[in-house]
Structures are given as structure tokens and as C-alpha cells.
Amino acid sequence: MSIATVNPASGETLKTYEAMDEEEIERRLQLAEATFRTYRTTTFAERARMLTRAADLLDEEQEEIGRVMTTEMGKPVKQARAEAAKCAKAMRWYAEHAEGLLADEEPAESDVKDSGASRALVRYRPLGPVLAVMPWNFPLWQVVRFAAPALMAGNVGLLKHASNVPQTALYLEDLFHRAGFTEGCFQTLLIGSGAVDDILRDERVKAATLTGSEPAGRAVASTAGEMIKKTVLELGGSDPFVVMPSADVERAADVAVTARVQNNGQSCIAAKRFIVHTDVYDAFAERFVAGMRALKVGDPMREETEVGPLSSERGRADLEELVDDARRGGADVLCGGERPDGPGWYYPPTVLAGITREMRIHREEAFGPVATLYRAADLDEAILIANDSLFGLSSNVWTRDENEVDRFVRDLEAGGVYVNGMTASHPALPFGGVKRSGYGRELSGHGIREFCNITTVWHGA
């Protein structure tokens, strides 16, 4: 597999890298194991000092790393800078809160006295080297939301990043080193996906986290299950965006545009299926389509660009196949739907209506700026359509009716329900999904405890 920076705005290969050989991989595994033995004994204050320094460096280098990300995967440079800022914020949040999140927990003495204990407590201890298999779409954020809690918990990290963002991957390793973490605390492995299985089988690797495709998740989960190792998986999403009659329809339509095309539409938590009550369907559709059509598509390095190219030629072809299949099945193309002429892997913001269950785009994730519109007769049908998906990452609902909110929160099959707003990840809130969107949680206290040995400590009388 090629490990290279290929500019998606031009298709030009800018840098290539040789994959690490078995000897170098072994050296890094040995270093991770040896480093963990001492790093696990550092204090929260020491870890927090280094992580805060990493956040400071990231803020200082926001412009530089932002341009690297845009060059490697095509997101508008304004969004790339915002991603770097978000990562720094998450680092500081964990630096400040990790000690409290992992503090010893002591049950009431009356609850454990019949066990014969004079004292009992729960302590969170680190597991060891954790392998992170990460995607290209948020090349900094996906890694930091693993690395910040893992490092604060006392684990060490091994990063297998997507092969089209090698410069970002190497920057992350260098960032943590410059912040004061020793070399073995966080290492980037420049390897192809074929090398992951052997590394995961290595006894020195204690757990794994993966954000990516469903097939990749199955492969990692299968090997980890065979080796009896903990995993956290964040896979695809086809999030519903439900609009009910009581909603502020104009605001919902405006937010819907951003919710669909953030990161050029290449986000697991981007809203993809827009389910609108029939009473407000026409008003929503008119404003939504107009907003999608008005987006500025172009060079992602330009400040005014709102939608850049897709990350790869294969990604664009996959998206085109979904649109063409829907068109052949009778879907209405309300805007977009045609590949533009010229260099780069661009695809226009597209809205499809008249979707049926037989169309691939109803079942599969559209990873790009393509939205599907559904008409719902009532609340029950809206929930039925929203849940008619193999995925269950997040959801968005727009209503001012508190009874409807209660129904959505109770009945939507998703890891998150965002009411009158757009799904977004935040350090203080758990993030993850159900069904084929994966399992486990990132971020918040739930995320930092995923890779801890939850230890019962019992003292006799």
C-alpha cells in the first residue's frame, strides 16, 4: 500500500514514504512496552503539564498544521484550523479533569461490611500500550480524542494512521515528543493496513481503538476477540435529521446545510438523512436546496471556500455510484449530482428526494456532500424512518414540543440525540454509537475509563 501525501485538489503526489519494516516495528513495540513500565508511575500533575504544553504548541502551530491537513485530505483550511483549536481544547480539558475522573471510588462502609472488609475501593489503573487505527477525515481530532485521555490515564499509544495523511501522523508524534513525553509514550507506525493484524496479536499490545469503516472494524474486532483484548470501535453513520412542524424551519434548514457538508460531507456524524414532517416539508426543502446550491465549492486553501474536494478518487467514485443508483431507481435530483470538469476530486453539494428502501443510498453511508430527503406523515413515521438504518451513531431532532422530544430520546436508536442543534463532539460528553456504528465510548469520563483496569481493592478487618 502507498503511504503518500496526494493533494486531492489536484491529484498530485507530493510526498511518499516507505513503510516501516519488521525490525523497526519490533523496535517500537519494545520501546512502548519499556516506556509503559515507568510512564505508568508518573503523577497526574506530570502528565497534565506535558499535555498542556502539547496544547500550547498546537495553538502556536495552528496555521502550519492546518495547511498540512488541507493539503493531505482536502478540508477547507478554515475548518482545519478549527480542528487544531478543538484538539488543543480537548487536551486542556483532560489535563484539568483526568485526576478527578479517575479518582478512587469508595462504596459506603455499610455496603461492604458483610464482605468482611474494613475498607474497599475501586482504582483505575492503565492497561499498557494501546493501538489506535485512525482515519483521514479528521486527521488530528480523531487521534487526539484517543491520545489525550489515554496518556492522562497512564497508557502509551501506538498510532496506525490512514495512509494518505502521513505528514499529519508524523506531526502528532513530534508534537507529543516536543511537549515532553518520552519517545515511547506516543509513536506513529508508518505501516499499511496489512500489518495491523500482527501488531494487534502481539502480547505487548493490550487494547485497540479504531475509527473507520465497517469492514475495518470487523477485522480489528475479530482479531481482538480472538486475542481477548479490549476494543472501542467508532464506525460509520447515516445520521437522521428530523424536522417537525413546531420547529424553527428556516433555522433548521440553514443548520442542515452545515450539518451535511461539514468536512466536505466526509464525517461519520454528519447528518445524512433529512426526515421532514409533511406539513413543513416543502418549506424546508426549498430553503435547504437553495442553501446547498449556494455553497462555494473550490480550492480548500482559499478562505471563502465552504466545500473542497473529496479525499480520494475512489471516494468520489463510490459517492457517484450511490447517486447514480438512486437516480436509476427513480430518485429526484434537486441539485448537484454531476461530476464537474477539471482537476481534483470534487463533487457538488447534492440533494436527492423520492428515496426508497431499495436504493443503496438508503442502506449505505454516503461519505460526501450528498443529502437524502424523506417525507414523514407523523411522529411515528419519522421515528420509523430514522431507525430504518443499520447505523446508530447520532441523531438530530428539531421540535419545540417537549412530548416529542421525550419520544425521540426514548425511541431513536443512536448514541446521541441533539435537539434543535447539530451533532458535534465535545470533550465533556461521551461519543459513540450502537448497531453497526460500533461500541464503546470516546471522550468524557466514559472515554478515559475505556482503557483502564478497573481494579477492586479489598482490605480485611
Round to whole Å and give the CA distance between 171 and 4. 14
- Going by C-alpha positions, the residue among 62, 57, 60 that lies closest to residue 83 is 62
Cα separation, 347 vs 389, in Å, equals 25
Around 227, how many Cα atoms within 13 Å sit in the side-chain half-sphere? 21
181, amino acid identity: F
- The residues pairing with 158 across neighbouring beta strands, listed in sequence order, are 131, 187
- Which one is catalytic: 33, 234, 306, 365? 234
268 carries an active-site annotation: yes
- pLDDT averaged per 10 residues, the chain (length 461): 92 97 98 98 98 98 98 98 98 98 93 87 98 98 98 98 98 98 98 97 98 96 98 97 98 98 97 98 98 98 98 97 98 97 97 98 98 98 98 98 98 98 97 98 98 96 74
CB 189 within 8 A of CB 160: yes
Among residues 441, 80, 439, 423, the alpha carbon closest in space to that of 273 is found at 423
* Catalytic residue status for 234: yes
| CA-to-CA dists, residue 111 to 105, 116, 119, 166, 411, angstroms | 13, 11, 10, 52, 35
- What whole-number distance in Å separates Cα of residue 262 and Cα of residue 308? 10
Of 185, 268, 335, 452, which one is the catalytic site residue? Answer: 268
d(CA 95, CA 153): 10
The helix/strand/coil state of 276 is strand
Write out the DSSP string of 26-79: HHHHHHHHHHHHHHTTS-HHHHHHHHHHHHHHHHHTHHHHHHHHHHHH---HHH
Residue 143 in contact with residue 134, Cβ under 8 Å?
yes
Reading the block at residue 312, the C-alpha cell is: 480520494
pLDDT (0 to 100) of residue 393: 98
DSSP β-bridge partners for residue 207 = 130, 230
